[in-house]
Amino acid sequence: MIENAHRQVITPMSNPLLRPDQGRAKAVLGAAEGLWWHLSGILDSRRAAQDDIARHAQDLLHKSAMAELGKLDIDTLNAAKQGIRVSALRKAGVQHLGQLYGLSLGRITHIDGIGEQTALKIKATVDAAYSAVRATCGVHIDIQAQTPQQNALLLGLFVLLRGDTLFAQAEYMLESGAAIPSALKEAARTVKGLKWMFSGRGSKTAAVNAFEYLAAMVEGPFGQDARALIDAFGGLARPTKQAVYADFEQSAAAYYARLEQLKLIPALDAPASGLPQEIVALIEQYPLDLRHLRATLRGYQTFGAKYVLQQRMALLGDEMGLGKTVQALAVIADLKARGKTHFLVVCPAGVLVNWKREVDKHTDLTSVVIHGHDKEDELNIWRDEVDIGITNYETITRLAGQIDFPVSALVVDEAHFVKNPQAQRTAALLYVARQSELVLYMTGTPLENRVDEMCFLMGCLRPDVADRVRSMKALSATAQFRQEIAPVYLRRLRVDVLSELPDLIESADWLEPTNYDLMAYSAAVSAGNFMAMRRISWDIDLRQSAKAARLLELCEDALEDGRKVIVFSFFISTLNAVAQLLGARAIGPITGSVSNEARQRLIDDFTAAPPGAVLVAQVQAGGVGLNIQAASMVIFCEPQIKPSLESQAISRAYRMGQVRDVQVHRLLCENTVDEHMMTILDAKQTEFDIYAEESAAGAASLENAATSAWISEVIRQEQAKLRPEAQQV
């Protein structure tokens, strides 16, 4: 922020009747006028950007609404049984409501068989339909459809988002130099001979004083900072279209957050997610202070942060990809603004580095990772010097006893890891929680009807609530149950709060195995080696592999389409084979043995890489706790036994901030174990979708489908159908 030293006071000169040097006077007045004009222009640019956004957003909203009308068959006109002759409209070539919107009554009555009264009904119905769909449409930015309206809209958003600090500085400097316009008028006498000649002593004194004030402003710190600000804004205000779209791809969440602030994205559902109104009222009244937060929050995220701050002991269960981390940082930022100190984040080891990055990116707070050989020293640094300590479950188990000072907030990420009351990590967390003013547990794993696990986690936070719901397992899908857990548990789904997410396109790529695939597969079947059977098409020379050939095709398609790819497999040997197959375009693999720092470097490299890059990751390691929305194609080398593994892996890319449709490909070989695995998963997919939100027992039954008995039966069936020629390896 510009220093207060920029404020200048006009002070009388010792010899006010001495006219300034004309060359210097003209230069000073010209420079002062130029600075004032440019500083004012910066704020004019903000207003122009806001106007452009509003105007072009309306164009895009109209386009979206017309597209929705185009999906409504004209039979919709008679939904209210108004007796409209739809057959006459069809005869005239009218197929959907979009063809009727905007037509005058005269145009409608020119259709054979449509009278004036019927035309009035048609127009009223179509106008009402347009208003209804328009109310639910939001601005969706398609990076592949770079229309003039969308380009202008994005440019306006780019200027607003990247210019926030510059606008604030310009406002302050205009306030600091508020006397410049009047000083320019007064000092004009010093450069106009006749006015100077015929001015009285008082006027000359005022003119010279005004000139000296302008000179001090132009030639002093004010002028230096103003010129630097003008130069900085000049670079911002004239970006290339490529730069704007690149920035949008990197920071789409911020762009959509600003659109939501401007009410250009509809709220699909209240962020309260069915909470009782009395709790909602208290939460909404909380005065959230975000001066230490750099991120722009979505409406549901603001509500989530207020919920935690109001309730003090909370379990945030938002679906993966909705930004639980930034909500936690908003909570910490608010507490910091209120003078609180010492905040602790406990998370899995694999996301320590990611948490550190998020703190640095989204806040102006200081942080330290407490982990490894220097953990005691880092603990002391957190206690004595920095705001946020970030540690993992293993380390907190060892260091909890040394945290003998008050903690303003304890944030426990992936809190479903803390479900064993006998575990040392649980005891350590409970010890720290007792010294914490606020405790936030976070998990994207659905807990509804997982009453035992949910009650344990809630019992760590609000034992009174946990005691009430333990006996309500049979009622867990009811509104009564949700009301009982409302004081401690908040969960929102993507479909409820994000209207702008692109499509998720899933496909099963069934392939005919090559002869080489079949020979290796037959050997695995004959040996009864289930894991080798699952690696079909990857344990051979990949030049003869059906799955490898398809993977290369998909990666080539991604390159041509400007996409990046994540390839997941359960097996490290498969990942190594894929990395070797792809050569220089492969990044990774990320496996469980890769250190946190190395894993974050690989993700950074992937984010910075050009289109066509491929991140290779073990599904158990790369599918948890990471944000990889740089990718818009996900490839699974084989079906996963646990549906939750695939769901979590897909959520790494399909999350808030994703700007492309996400394509998911599963590479599958016909007449192999892949069919058995997909059959059981497909047969239970509907149930899994329900269980993922409503029943732990159902989800567990699916995830444990590959029991010893099931595996034995699959092997028996595969051995029974081996062709004699296939058995000869």
pLDDT digits (tens, 9 = 90+) for 265-275: 765 555 666 68
Considering the domain architecture, whether residues 580 and 712 belong to the same structural domain is answered as: yes
| Distance set, CA 213 to CA 21, 22, 204, 286, 362 (Å) | 15, 16, 14, 46, 41
Contact by Cβ (8 Å): 384, 378: no
How many whole angstroms separate alpha carbon 720 and alpha carbon 718? 5
Q: Give the CATH number, domain containing residue 118.
A: 1.10.150
- Whether 73 maps to a domain, the answer reads yes
Considering the domain architecture, whether residues 75 and 207 belong to the same structural domain is answered as: no
- Whether 481 maps to a domain, the answer reads yes
Backbone angles phi, psi at 567, to 5 degrees: -110, 120
Q: Classify 678 as helix, strand or coil.
A: helix
One-letter amino acid for residue 59 of the chain: D
pLDDT at 613: 92
Q: CA-based angle 562:563:568, to the nearest 5?
A: 160
Q: Classify 348 as helix, strand or coil.
A: coil
Token pair for 184 = 């320019």
Q: Give the CATH number, domain containing residue 651.
A: 3.40.50.300
Considering the domain architecture, whether residues 304 and 376 belong to the same structural domain is answered as: yes
Per-residue burial over 36-75, b if 16 or more Cβ lie within 10 Å, else e, is: bebbebbeebbeebeebbeebbebbbebbbbebbeebebe
Q: Can the peptide bond before residue 446 be classed as cis, meaning omega within 30 degrees of 0?
A: no
Considering the domain architecture, whether residues 291 and 157 belong to the same structural domain is answered as: no
Q: Classify 675 as helix, strand or coil.
A: helix
Considering the domain architecture, whether residues 655 and 513 belong to the same structural domain is answered as: yes
Domain boundary among 466, 481, 497: 497
How many whole angstroms separate alpha carbon 353 and alpha carbon 599? 9
- Whether 575 maps to a domain, the answer reads yes
For residues 598-608, give the mean pLDDT.
Answer: 87
**Owning domain of residue 194:** 14-57+143-250
Domain count within the chain: 4
pLDDT at 16: 53
DSSP tag of 296: P
Contact by Cβ (8 Å): 43, 170: yes
Q: Does the predicted model carry a pTM greater than 0.85?
A: no
What is the residue whose two structure tokens read 């769901």?
647
Token pair for 139 = 């601005």
pLDDT digits (tens, 9 = 90+) for 293-352: 998 898 889 999 999 999 999 999 887 778 899 999 999 999 999 999 999 999 988 778
Contact by Cβ (8 Å): 684, 702: yes
Per-residue burial over 166-192, b if 16 or more Cβ lie within 10 Å, else e, is: bbebbebbbebbebbeebbebbbbbbe
Average pLDDT in the chain: 83
Helices 451-461 and 424-434, axial angle in degrees (round to 10): 40
- Whether 726 maps to a domain, the answer reads no
pLDDT at residue 210 above 70? yes
Considering the domain architecture, whether residues 488 and 516 belong to the same structural domain is answered as: no
pLDDT digits (tens, 9 = 90+) for 17-42: 677 778 888 899 999 999 999 999 99
Considering the domain architecture, whether residues 325 and 180 belong to the same structural domain is answered as: no
- Whether 27 maps to a domain, the answer reads yes
How many whole angstroms separate alpha carbon 690 and alpha carbon 688? 5
Query: How close are the terminal C-alpha atoms of the chain, in Å?
Result: 75
Considering the domain architecture, whether residues 218 and 290 belong to the same structural domain is answered as: no
Considering the domain architecture, whether residues 188 and 321 belong to the same structural domain is answered as: no
Residue among 546, 553, 612, 548 at smallest CA distance from 580: 548
For residues 638-643, give the mean pLDDT.
Answer: 82
pLDDT digits (tens, 9 = 90+) for 250-262: 788 888 888 888 8
Q: Give strand pairing partners of 316.
A: 442, 490
How many whole angstroms separate alpha carbon 288 and alpha carbon 609? 38
> Residue 712 — pLDDT band, cuts 50, 70, 90?
confident
What is the residue whose two structure tokens read 């703190």?
359
- Whether 381 maps to a domain, the answer reads yes
Sign of CA pseudo-dihedral 171, 175, 176, 178: positive
Considering the domain architecture, whether residues 92 and 225 belong to the same structural domain is answered as: no
Considering the domain architecture, whether residues 616 and 484 belong to the same structural domain is answered as: no
> Residue 364 — pLDDT band, cuts 50, 70, 90?
very high
Contact by Cβ (8 Å): 635, 552: no
Contact by Cβ (8 Å): 434, 471: no
Backbone angles phi, psi at 14, to 5 degrees: -65, -30
* Helices (H), ranges, 6-142: 22-69, 86-91, 105-109, 116-136
pLDDT at residue 285 above 80? yes
Considering the domain architecture, whether residues 641 and 688 belong to the same structural domain is answered as: yes
Domain boundary among 465, 497, 529: 497
- Whether 259 maps to a domain, the answer reads no
For residues 555-575, give the mean pLDDT.
Answer: 90
> Residue 702 — pLDDT band, cuts 50, 70, 90?
very low
Domain boundary among 203, 219, 250: 250
Q: Classify 31 as helix, strand or coil.
A: helix
How many whole angstroms separate alpha carbon 306 and alpha carbon 282? 9
Instruction: Give the distance between the most distant pair of CA atoms in the chain.
Output: 118
Counting residues of the chain whose pLDDT is more than 70, the rounded percentage is 85
Q: Give the CATH number, domain containing residue 422.
A: 3.40.50.10810
DSSP tag of 363: B
- Whether 430 maps to a domain, the answer reads yes
What phi-psi label fits residue 627: left (phi over 0), alpha (psi between -120 and 50 degrees) or beta? beta
